[in-house]
Structure 1
Amino acid sequence: MNAPTASLNFSEMRERAYDVFMAGVGEADPASAVEEALKGRTFTRPTIIAVGKAARAMAQAAMRQVKAETVLVVTNYENAKPLEGAEVRGAGHPVPDVEGARAAQRVEGVLSMAQGDVIALISGGGSALLPAPVMGVSLEDKAAVNSLLLASGADIVMMNLIRQQLSRLKGGGFLRAAGPSFVTTLVLSDVVDDDLRAIASGPSVSPIGRRADAVAALKTLQIWNRLPESVRTHLLKPEPDLGPLPDSDTILIGSNSRSVAAMARAAGGGLGHGVHVFPMPLEGDVDVAAKVILDCAIEPGIFLFGGETTVKLAGRGLGGRNQELSLRVAKLAAERGLVDYVFLSGGTDGRDGPTDAAGGLVDGSTLERLKAAGVDLNDVLARNDSYHGLEAANDLLKIGATGTNVADLQVLIRR
């Protein structure tokens, strides 16, 4: 029989969950991964272009290994700090903005002027950070598409299938813009199955699909008729024959699965619990994911997950998939009479949705704190206002921008 929450001390379990999560984040350190990948490699008059949430750290590490003639970094505003010897540009994420469009033009310019090899450093977030709309589609139209996709419940592969068809640089466009330069790409994966075509919308690999596939996906998501007219017009045009992509080299240097393995190593021992790693990526709607998580915790132990869930927005509140997943786990746990647990869900980049939180860290007393604060959990979830719900319970997970991104990690500890 479960003990009443008043007799449980969650602090040690919460600290343990946090430490295990941060071990996963630490494993995704982009600097050490880049340095290791570039050791012993030689380049001719190299140009370095880094794009994504980990772009600055990746570029800094590359510059320690390679003397480049030009270094261009495009990253989200939180990570856009000056870097000696490099041009650093901040851009909007998750919704593209005008600074991102200017950065995309700058990338195209640098590629066109490259006189030797190009080293591309790609990490999660690059898709939104580098909007280069095709002719006839405005930045505003592309941002509108992105907002519709974010609210649709589409997974990252489907989102990037569509984004690629609306961009000059995605889906191999980066390689074509590099002309005769040979491109070596180092990829820090934020996609759970490490599909290189989906990471930052695959700037240096072949596209996920064709225009017809994008149209079919948009209709499946039931947002085709809500798209800007310019986007529908472009996607219905005949597919051009661009020929094969230029030869290139692509190296995967970090991934979600590696971070889950690091969490497992960190979780070994302590609190007298066995460690269990969920064998598949945690994907799909957060409501379903909450059931999957709690179905695993039928006995005491530490349960580890990695992946990227989705939320179909019905309300206009503030939050993100990790915050909503945390609250849905807390709600379902209460319905099942489970109180002797803590659960953490967080984005490895330190940012969950358009918020300053990485996710949530809940326990068996979360619902009591919400009730004491006068917050109705069902109302919070109906409005997709997980941020303010977790804030009321003092259960927001805030770690700041990490400079890396390998999707999401989850830790559940049950006594």
Structure 2
Amino acid sequence: METGSSIVKNVEELKTLFRDREEVAMDLVRIVGSALAAVEPRGLVRRKVSVRGDELHVGGESVVLSEFREVWIISVGKAAPGMARGILEALGRPIEKCIVIAPAGSDISIIRGEAEVYLASHPIPDGSGLRASARLLEELDRVSRETLIIFLLSGGSSALLPAPAEGLTLEDEAEVTGMLMKSGATIEELNTVRKHISSIKGGLLARAMVPARVLSLILSDVPGDRLDVVGSGPTLPDPSTFREAYQVLVRRNVWDGAPERVKKRIEDGLAGLVEETPKPGDPAFERVTNILIGGVGDACEAAAQAARGLGYNAEILARSFEGEAGSLGLLMGSMALEVEGRPGRLYVLGGESTVRVKGEGRGGRNQELALAALTRLGRGCRSIVAAFGTDGVDGPTDAAGAVASSEQAQIARDLSLNPQDYLERNDSYTFFKKVGGHIFTGPTGTNVGDIVLVLSPGQAKA
């Protein structure tokens, strides 16, 4: 397992930023590293899945492997290569087929030669994902009741498995996805729409897997671990409706500008001319078991445990925060001021924020949250706020997130930089490039959402 200093790639830069209190930088690096190591997918699957004799055990469920003529592994998402490697090692026996669909740029070395690998675009779907989806559906035509499919699902799968519903195009799906993301839609809102313009999401992949036995192991990146929202719930009953999809598009001011074919499909759904997504009780789910094997709570627990080992009083305040990044950042900055008088305190929060894109700058939700927090930190404030994505990729940047501190606020004053101007342009990446404080991990091969740390350095009081 990697150490914190090997997971965080710019340790020396952070030590320079905090040159007068270098131990704070190292504490932060160790805490971030521990959080990410806890949700490393290969190790996570190995801890959650065991094979004893002829039985596979996971999450209180067991499957007798000899009851099946063939075992398939289908792994999709940002954690797909690691999850596939973990289940291959847990099984320790030959399998019929292994298909892995992951984001372009993923490290596939751990499953090279053992899987049929497809790399696709994220977060906006493209032709590579469309071809991967078509190949997957083609292969599923071969399954029988004697097929066991171990389906491994992680965040990012919605974009990696585009399969436009009848009458729609890939361009329609990509355009409405981009519009909703820029509007600040939550992941639940975004995936409600995605489910109703797809032939694979919202339980429809489960239909394509009939009559196989399906064991779906899910690594959640969704606040509250709503399994039907992770990857748009391809193997779960869908509680959302065309009515709700329409309401999301209207509420987020996307309806008027949405592609005409998307609007027609939603209108046909409202009129009952298009079948709803499969609901609870649908026969498609009779042989499907969905099991949560990990989420942001695991990363939060690991961060808190690491901090306690360093002498902090650590408390997990939330495992499912949501909201606009700028507003949440202001709140986190205020929390940093509040905790200033309590040395050795760490608050840990897990969840996912959103950004309503108004400017032409470059950034991501975690950097925007950190920048908003920085506007609250005055001269001499010793507390810091750190926000980072567990996938190591914050928006269209190479940073996982950023740290906010009084050191950077002083550098900004020295350079005559106004943080508020950068917030208004959604240009947080540029700001932190100038004042320092980025957190660089590179793509981590996992994804359970985001972590925010509010840390007051010093000796904890008993």
CA deviations over 1:239-295 (Å, ceiling 9, x no partner)? 41664433211111111112111111000043x542222145221012221233234
Residue of structure 2 in register with 1:24 after alignment:
35
Is 1:193–2:224 an aligned residue pair?
A: yes
- Once the two structures are aligned, what percentage of the paired residues are identical? 32
Q: Does the alignment pair 1:46 with 2:71?
A: yes
User: Which has the larger displacement, 125-134 or 112-121?
Assistant: 112-121
- Residue 176 of structure 1: SS of its match in structure 2? helix
CA distances 1:3-40 after superposition (whole Å, capped 9, x unpaired): xxx99824321221221122111111211222344312
When structure 1 is superposed on structure 2, of 371-380 and 223-232 the one drifting more is 371-380
Return the alpha-carbon distance in structure 2 between the equivalents of residues 192 and 18 of structure 1: 24
Unaligned runs of 5+ in 1: 1-5
User: Per the alignment, in what secondary structure is the counterpart of residue 39 of structure 1?
Assistant: strand
- TM-score with structure 2 setting the length: 0.84
The corresponding residue for 2:104 is 77
- Name the structure 2 match of 1:266: 306
Deviates more, 1:14-23 or 1:160-169: 14-23
Secondary structure of the residue aligned to 1:32 is helix
User: Equivalents in 2 of 1:84, 1:8: separation in Å?
Assistant: 46
Aligned residue in 2 for 1:358: 400
C-alpha contact (below 8 Å) 2:367/2:429 kept by paired residues: yes
Q: What's the secondary structure of 1:96's corresponding residue? A: coil
1:226 Cα offset (Å): 1.1
Distance 2:208 2:45 in 1: 23
Relative contact order higher in (CA < 8 Å, ≥ 6 apart): 1
Looking at structure 2, the residues matched to 70 and 280 of structure 1 have their Cα atoms a distance apart, in angstroms, of 36
- State the superposition RMSD in angstroms: 1.9
Paired residue total: 407
Provide the residue aligned with 2:275 in structure 1: 240
Instruction: Please state how far the C-alpha of 1:80 moved relative to its aligned partner.
Output: 5.0
Distance 1:14 1:303 in 2: 16
Output aligned runs, 1:63-74, within 5 Å.
63-66=88-91, 67-74=94-101
Counterpart of 2:95, as a letter, is A
Q: Distance between the aligned counterparts of 2:453 and 2:135, measured in 1?
A: 41
User: Residue 65 of structure 1 aligns to which amino acid in structure 2?
Assistant: A
Task: Identify the range of structure 1 (127-136 vs 365-374) with the bigger mean alpha-carbon deviation.
Answer: 365-374
Task: Output aligned runs, 1:222-371, within 5 Å.
Answer: 222-237=253-268, 238=272, 239-240=274-275, 243-247=282-286, 248-270=288-310, 273-279=312-318, 281-297=320-336, 298-299=338-339, 300=342, 301-334=345-378, 339-371=381-413
SS in 2 for 1:169: coil
Secondary structure, in 3 states, of the residue corresponding to 1:90?
A: strand
SS at match of 1:325: helix
The superposition leaves residues 122-158 of structure 1 with CA deviations (integer Å, 9 ceiling, x where unpaired) of: 0000011111110111111110111011111111111
1:111 paired residue number: 140
- Give the letter aligned to residue 79 of structure 1: S
Structure 2 match to 1:3: none
CA contact (8 A) 1:155 1:310 kept: yes
1:302-331 CA-partner distances (Å, limit 9, x unpaired)? 121111011111101111100100111111
Amino acid in structure 2 at the alignment position of 1:97 = D
1:69 Cα deviation from its structure 2 partner? 0.7
Q: What is the alpha-carbon distance in structure 1 between the residues aligned to residue 154 and residue 18 of structure 2? A: 45
Q: Secondary structure at the match of 1:117?
A: strand
**What is the alpha-carbon distance in structure 2 between the residues aligned to residue 142 and residue 216 of structure 1?**
17
Gapped regions of structure 2 (runs ≥ 5): 1-16, 57-63, 458-462
| Letter matched to residue 420 of structure 2 | N
1:330–1:367 Cα contact (<8 Å) kept: yes
Q: Aligned residue for 1:395? A: 437
Query: Superposition pairs for residues 10-159 of structure 1, below 5 Å?
Result: 10-40=21-51, 41=56, 42-43=64-65, 44=68, 45-66=70-91, 67-82=94-109, 83-115=112-144, 116-159=147-190
2:275 alignment partner AA:
P
Q: Which amino acid aligns with 1:219?
A: V
Instruction: State how far apart, in whole Å, the 2-side matches of 1:111 and 1:80 are.
Output: 26
- The whole-number CA distance in structure 2 between the counterparts of 1:37 and 1:177 is 27
What is the TM-score normalised by the length of structure 1?
Answer: 0.93
Aligned to 1:379: 421
Contact 1:282 1:289 in 2 (8 A): no
Residue 175 of structure 1 corresponds to 206
Q: 1:212: Cα distance to partner?
A: 1.3
- The 1-side partners of 2:21 and 2:122 are apart by 35
Q: Contact 2:333–2:372 (CA<8 Å) still a contact in 1?
A: no
Distance in 2, matches of 1:408 and 1:279, equals 11
Instruction: Rate the CA distance shift 1:7–1:407 in 2: closer, same or farther, 3 A.
Output: closer
